[in-house]
Structure 1
Amino acid sequence: MSAPTGPRFSYGTNGLADHRLGDALRLLADLGYEGVALTLDHQHLDPYAPGLAARVDEVRRALDATGLAVVVETGARYLLDPRRKHRPTLLSAEPEGRELRLDLLRRAVGIGAELGAGAVHFWSGTPDPDTTREQAWQRLVDGCAETVGHAEAAGIDLAFEPEPGMLVADLAGYRRLLADLGRPDRFRLTLDIGHCRCLEPYPVADCVALAADRLAHVQIEDMRRGTHEHLPFGEGEIDFPPVLGALADAGYRGLVSVELPRHSHAGAETARHSIAFLREAAARHASRDTRPQQEPLKEAVPA
């Protein structure tokens, strides 16, 4: 079988939080997606609920049945602390908090290996108020080094994401972290296309070229300069055909995952609109067509 030559579009389950996981996988396959970005959360493959091994096996069988590739994501908002969003982190002042995050990452690596995932995705988090940047950075390096060890043992790539507002916010921060870790091969990158528009000093397509040597996963959505808000395609400022062209030119063959975590209330329609938009953008790049793309998504389902 020949290797894929174009983008492999995927969709994040954090944008289908109102769907059962099995229903979400079937929906994505029926729409023509080739993969899923699976966020481990209370409603979708909770890594702390009883019977994990059996549930992972069930998801593996569902992935096989639908033909979907998978990356595993660890960005659930309240999985570790019901009161504090995205806490604790690898930067947390309390050692027990950092251990909770490390435990989640260990579980994610194990689940990812069982599912045959292309990568396990994570990010740095933000420092606690009384933590210096130097302290936070050392905690991050230590936590990433430990997680790299688990990934190497499991034979799976990590896909670290720079996230606006976090300790590692941009590609330069990722490069510094990679260097401080000794450039382990398994410590790779999630490039979020919207984040490139939000804060990187380069055009979005140039960010793809700058990141190409480390890419393990790509997230994609629309966004505006200076505002970290994930928008449906057509509602932001990104010109997508050149971006998809840059991914093709870079030889990237991993998943390109739509990330719209605030649109679960209209998840099915948003997923349908997203793949139609991305296919049109890819076709426009192939034909070098510069006509405007379709209108922004008009949500038919109230939040």
Structure 2
Amino acid sequence: MSPETRRPRLDNSGASNRPRRPHPATSLRFGYGTNGLTDLRLDDALALLADLGYDGVGLTLDHMHLDPLAPGLTARTHRLAGRLDALGLDVTVETGARYVLDPRRKHGPSLLDPDPDDRARRVGLLSRAVQVAADLGAHAVHCFSGLTPPGTDTDTAWKRLAEALNPVLDAAATADVPLAVEPEPGHLLATLADFHRLRRTLGAPEHLGLTLDIGHCQCLESLSPADCVRAAAPWLRHVQIEDMRRGIHEHLPFGDGEIDFPPVLAALAATGYQGLTVVELPRHSHAGPHFAEHSLPFLRRAARTAADPSGLAPPHGDPSATPEGSSTS
């Protein structure tokens, strides 16, 4: 796609230069991840989110939606850009598909694999994701480090991660799209402190940013989720959100975990962050339309409570109710 036909870009703060639907009492902009809508065709998923009133979508590049490895990616991306514009949806590109590169290894190969050819496959996917993001006008490309392979010492793993990310960051700089690395429980880069170790190792490149998953903050950070938001603010390029419990890495519908959301959203609004805050429920795709429908009102009520603490807190547990006839299979 030529630069002239690209969708309007968001700057590094996430601020878009195309019209936005105003939300009363909050500047936050909510999206829903397509990895929680994998039973729907992509066009149907986007139409659903637009109908429900979401501001955007977290688009996971995968075989069931926008397959990054199938022929005709540029043409398919061009059509998708037009569809997003028609629906008024902004987008961030996510790269957490489980089996997009290897049908037998979840999230494999990673940036930490011992085999340099395998690492190169992941680098190639991320570089392709950067180009897709540029062509869609996405505000960031999300990625994560991966698990440290058995038998690999920590110093070697960090060296591999830095070396693998250098060409991706070069692509991000060329496309002017931030690369937003996500601290992921159990991965080499698991915490905010680990993110800063990576920044120092790489020399704090301009296009290296942070994906903050609010549930992960509850799961393992020493700070509260709201304090994590404040600490992460200067590097924040993408936000994922769901409920979670302390010490248990399980993405939960709002109300099923332990997070107090109004202070989190108040902190996020106070940072001036204008990118998407994307609901991340990949294991609830069997009832994706239900959870998409119930998640947005919950977040908007929590945001209104954050803006006006004298109001009532959002109901606890509403979105977790399983719709009639649904299955967890």
Interval of TM-score (by shorter of Structure 1 and Structure 2): over 0.9
Is residue 89–residue 97 contact of structure 1 (8 Å, CA) maintained in 2? yes
1:147 maps to a residue whose letter is V
- CA-to-aligned-CA distance 1:91-141 (integer Å, 9 cap, x gap): 000011101100101110111110011000000001111211111110001
Cα deviation for residue 292 of structure 1 reads 5.4
Is residue 194–residue 220 contact of structure 1 (8 Å, CA) maintained in 2? yes
Residue 302, structure 1, aligned to residue 327, structure 2 = yes
Is residue 190–residue 219 contact of structure 1 (8 Å, CA) maintained in 2? yes
Tell me how far apart the structure 2 counterparts of residues 187 and 277 of structure 1 sit (CA, whole Å). 31
Q: CA 1:27–1:94 in structure 2 vs 1: closer, same or farther (change >3 Å)?
A: same
Residue 231, structure 1, aligned to residue 231, structure 2 = no
Tell me how far apart the structure 2 counterparts of residues 240 and 260 of structure 1 sit (CA, whole Å). 16
Q: 1:29 aligned to 25, 28, 50, which one? A: 50
Q: 1:138 aligned to 159, 163, 176, which one? A: 159
Q: 2:274 aligned to 229, 246, 253, which one? A: 253
After TM superposition, the structure 1 = structure 2 runs for residues 52-63 of structure 1, keeping only pairs within 5 Å, are: 52-63=73-84
2:193 maps to a residue whose letter is A
Cα deviation for residue 291 of structure 1 reads 3.8
Give 3-state SS (helix, strand or coil) of 1:190's partner. Answer: strand
Tell me how far apart the structure 1 counterparts of residues 109 and 275 of structure 2 sit (CA, whole Å). 29
Cα deviation for residue 261 of structure 1 reads 0.1
Cα deviation for residue 8 of structure 1 reads 0.2
Is residue 305–residue 314 contact of structure 2 (8 Å, CA) maintained in 1? no
**How many percent of aligned residue pairs carry the same amino acid?**
58
Tell me how far apart the structure 1 counterparts of residues 129 and 76 of structure 2 sit (CA, whole Å). 14
Tell me how far apart the structure 2 counterparts of residues 253 and 292 of structure 1 sit (CA, whole Å). 23
Is residue 39–residue 72 contact of structure 1 (8 Å, CA) maintained in 2? yes
- CA-to-aligned-CA distance 1:196-237 (integer Å, 9 cap, x gap): 000000111000000000000000000000000000000000
Cα deviation for residue 290 of structure 1 reads 5.0
1:302 maps to a residue whose letter is S
Give 3-state SS (helix, strand or coil) of 1:262's partner. Answer: helix
Which residue does 1:200 correspond to in 2? 221
Tell me how far apart the structure 2 counterparts of residues 217 and 291 of structure 1 sit (CA, whole Å). 25
Tell me how far apart the structure 2 counterparts of residues 295 and 206 of structure 1 sit (CA, whole Å). 24
Tell me how far apart the structure 2 counterparts of residues 72 and 290 of structure 1 sit (CA, whole Å). 35
Q: 1:89 aligned to 91, 102, 110, which one? A: 110
Cα deviation for residue 299 of structure 1 reads 1.0
Give 3-state SS (helix, strand or coil) of 2:283's partner. Answer: coil
Which residue does 2:172 correspond to in 1? 151
Tell me how far apart the structure 2 counterparts of residues 275 and 185 of structure 1 sit (CA, whole Å). 32
Tell me how far apart the structure 2 counterparts of residues 262 and 143 of structure 1 sit (CA, whole Å). 29
Residue 69, structure 1, aligned to residue 118, structure 2 = no
Which residue does 1:6 correspond to in 2? 27
More deviation, 230-239/283-292: 283-292
Tell me how far apart the structure 2 counterparts of residues 31 and 216 of structure 1 sit (CA, whole Å). 24
Residue 283, structure 1, aligned to residue 304, structure 2 = yes
Is residue 159–residue 187 contact of structure 1 (8 Å, CA) maintained in 2? yes
2:229 maps to a residue whose letter is V
Give 3-state SS (helix, strand or coil) of 2:58's partner. Answer: strand
Tell me how far apart the structure 2 counterparts of residues 108 and 2 of structure 1 sit (CA, whole Å). 25
List runs of 5+ in structure 1 lacking aligned partners: none
Q: CA 1:7–1:123 in structure 2 vs 1: closer, same or farther (change >3 Å)?
A: same
Give 3-state SS (helix, strand or coil) of 1:6's partner. Answer: coil
Residue 243, structure 1, aligned to residue 243, structure 2 = no
Is residue 281–residue 293 contact of structure 1 (8 Å, CA) maintained in 2? no
Which residue does 2:6 correspond to in 1? none
Tell me how far apart the structure 2 counterparts of residues 45 and 18 of structure 1 sit (CA, whole Å). 14
Q: 2:149 aligned to 128, 134, 148, which one? A: 128
Which residue does 2:11 correspond to in 1? none
Give 3-state SS (helix, strand or coil) of 2:166's partner. Answer: helix
Q: 1:170 aligned to 191, 202, 210, which one? A: 191
2:315 maps to a residue whose letter is Q
Q: 1:211 aligned to 232, 242, 253, which one? A: 232
2:322 maps to a residue whose letter is E
Is residue 33–residue 59 contact of structure 2 (8 Å, CA) maintained in 1? yes
Cα deviation for residue 143 of structure 1 reads 1.1
Cα deviation for residue 2 of structure 1 reads 8.4
Which residue does 2:15 correspond to in 1? none
Is residue 14–residue 261 contact of structure 1 (8 Å, CA) maintained in 2? yes
Moved over 3 A (4+): 1-5
2:296 maps to a residue whose letter is I
Residue 293, structure 1, aligned to residue 315, structure 2 = yes
2:327 maps to a residue whose letter is P
